[in-house]
Amino acid sequence: MSSFYHDLAADAGTPYWLYDEAVLQRRLSNIAWLTEGPGLQPRFAMKACPATRVLAAMRSHGLWIDAVSGNEVLRARHAGFAGGNDPPQILFTSDAWRDNALAVIQQERILPNLGSPGMVEMLRQAGYRGPIALRVNPGFGHGHVNTCDTGGPSAKHGIWHEDLPAVAGAAAAAGLRVVMLHAHIGSGPQPAELLHNWQRLAAAFETLLPLFPEATAVNLGGGLPFNYRAAEGREAWLPDLRDLLVQIAGRLARAAGQAGLRVEIEPGRYLMAPVGTLVTRVLDVKRTRGDARGPGVTFVMVDAGFNDLLRPALYGAHHALQVLRGEADEPVTGEVAPVVVAGPLCEAGDVFTREANGLLAPRLLPCPQPGDLLLIHDVGAYGYAMSSTYNSFGPAPQFWRTSGGEVQMMSRRGTLADLLRLETG
């Protein structure tokens, strides 16, 4: 029997992150097939997992980058992506610039993607006179949960579609050429919803493109679905999406009056979610007793918290769980019972099994024991990238398992010295 997870835990401690190169290679092959052909270009939404090793893998497979901060742009440059905007290997998408954003746009000459009308004037005042992209809020969209909606009246992202003529005029007056239109309408709960919304988005862009005669590209955003609750059928919708993407590319090229119009997509979660696993150790199992407020609960206490993986606490995200026992990494089987998995933080919300409405969602698991390892699956996207040092815990280390089975450290465990280094007094 393999002892891989326990051996790595013995060497590195827990919790730790593990990324599987073989899984990433399979997902990248799918994206390559999906975007095969002239005029189709995938970008990686690097906020999902901005580690240099991951960015290097994206670059080697021909993906470009969607960055959302000045530092993300610089991280992409560090990983080998070219600056400049012809072609725009790095797109800088933002609704509100901060820190070094404007300086990075000027210095790296990357393509800024404006998500708010006032950004036109900010660029003019900064002396920028290059090309720009505009992020459109088309009036519809759906995230994988409601708090992740990226289009429609309740979404903060993008320029409302009815305001685009005025923004186009302001851009022209400022000497800014609009060379790309962009929208991101979210993952949605089902693949069928993405297909339907991309049809709607294509129709919206067909109407908008005549307003922007210098546009050479349209970006349909990300939102390729990923089913966190079932591994079966995760790829079944890809042929339908491929057919639709080719169809949309032709429609938009005709609307723009140019056969060479580039059509882009931005997978993030789809590429990275199944690549990552968070490995944590069971420290204790304890129980409460029921009263008038509700039933008692069995709590499985582990050493990972929402400082490591925020998604379940933030919006009730579901992640598959697996219990391993003994040095042979034996999966625990047999009778299951409802348990709530909770972490070490001094926060009542530090729970990995919670619904989007905030209520506890006990998970049926073979009852763990102290010393077991608990694997939290499908955490490669928006996992480590959203972690923090809350309660003064340092970031857990990241490891990369190559296709050949070799394990390489990507980042070490954070220390107290790391936490204190930024303090000035």
Angstrom distance (rounded) from CA 418 to CA 21: 28
Active site residue 367: no
Among the listed residues 49, 148, 346, 367, the single catalytic one is 346
Q: Enumerate the active-site residues.
A: 346
